[in-house]
Amino acid sequence: MRILFYDTKKYDRDSFEKVTEKYPEIEIEYTDTDINSKTANLAKGYKAICAFVSSDVGKETIDCLSKNGVELVLLRCAGFNNVDLEEAKKKNITVMRVPGYSPEAVAEHAMALALASSRRIHKSYIKVRENNFSLTGLTGTNLHGKIAGIIGTGKIGATMCRICRGFGMKVIAYDLYKNPELDFVEYLELDKLLNDSDLISLHCPLTEESYHMINKSSIAKMKDGVILVNTSRGALIRTEDLIHGIRDKKFFSVGLDVYEEETNNVFENREDDILETSITARLLSFPNVIVTSHQGFLTNEALESISITTFENAMSYLNGNLIENNVVM
């Protein structure tokens, strides 16, 4: 099976090439170009394409892939909101994904953001590089003995609960369903969690219900001096309201791996006018805020797991034996 691998980054290629020899039936060609309705034509002659969560696999792209004989879309990610599934179904194109690869990768990054922002590591790093060893402005806060409020206790949230427990925190949570594995966690209503938590970490998906769940009204319910971390999806937070909250000194610190403008790729198109008006750039102007570039998933272990599952997905399609949980309907 020939696969065209769109939007290749060096780390993708390295991790896929490490396992490629175990799958002699599969031949991958890599291109830097990302997929969209115009670049889908490059897939002529390939049975499958490999795309990422940020790729445009909408209706027009699917139509073009279908005209070019593509039968399989392999997503090397869990999310699939960028794929027109109805159109794929109509065109008889199978869509497969990697439902879970390393919850630890994301949860550890969430804790890294909580620690780095609350212990002012980002400020200290820059000061010391400039030979400034003054401690002014670097006072942090302990996590031990505090309350961690985890919103969403699926794979990643549950891992974050365990990490927080390891730090000696009391762990409370809000989810639509209780996770039976978390017997040390107290489930509460959302308002009570907002009110009680010293650290709030978001681990639920972006849905109609969760869109802007952190807004002016929910921020008002939080404790003063709370630490807020978001590694899930940017639009869980209404950024304008977060900026107001930061200005009002509501937050001890904020760590974000995801942000509302992500789909506009503000950081990759580093044009000054975009950055000047960008709401994310405004967030970056606050000294107690850290923003990373949606890198929670990016560890060697997660990349290895993603490449193996993607190859296994391709093999299961070839053998006519689809891995049910990995097929997107």
Does position 12 interact with ligand NAI (CB under 6 A)? The reply is: no
Using the minimum distance from each CB to ligand NAI, give the nearer residue, 64 or 107: 107
- State yes or no: is 233 an active-site residue: yes
What is the per-residue binding string for ligand NAI in 143-172, x denoting contact by CB under 6 A? --------xxxxxxx---------------
Query: Looking at 294, 301, 304, 324, which residue is catalytic?
Result: 294
DSSP-assigned letter for residue 320: T
- Which residue lies nearest ligand NAI, judged by its C-beta? 154
**Residue 149: CB partners within 8 Å, gap ≥ 6?**
172, 173, 174, 193, 194, 196, 197, 199, 200, 201
Give the binding-site size for ligand NAI (rule: CB under 6 A): 29
CA gyration radius, the chain: 21
Separation CA 266–CA 253 (nearest Å): 23
DSSP-assigned letter for residue 230: E
Separation CA 275–CA 139 (nearest Å): 30
| Among residues 204, 222, 254, 291, the one that binds ligand NAI under rule CB under 6 A | 204
CA nearest neighbour of 259 among 199, 222, 303, 214: 214
**Contact predicate 49/68, CB 8 Å:** no
Query: Looking at 76, 120, 203, 233, which residue is catalytic?
Result: 233
Residue 226: both structure tokens together: 């709370």
DSSP code per residue over 203-223: -S---TTTTT-BSHHHHHHSP
Cα torsion 314, 320, 321, 323: sign: positive
- State yes or no: is 165 an active-site residue: no
Residue 22: both structure tokens together: 């175990």
What is the per-residue binding string for ligand NAI in 241-280, x denoting contact by CB under 6 A? ----------------xx----------------------
What is the per-residue binding string for ligand NAI in 63-92, x denoting contact by CB under 6 A? ---------------x--------------
| Among residues 6, 174, 252, 311, the one that binds ligand NAI under rule CB under 6 A | 174
Query: Looking at 87, 108, 260, 262, which residue is catalytic?
Result: 262
Separation CA 76–CA 326 (nearest Å): 11
| Among residues 33, 41, 207, 265, the one that binds ligand NAI under rule CB under 6 A | 207
Catalytic residues: 233, 262, 294
User: What residue ranges bind ligand NAI (CB under 6 A)?
Assistant: 78, 100, 103, 106, 151-157, 174-177, 203-205, 207, 209-210, 231-233, 257-258, 294, 296-297
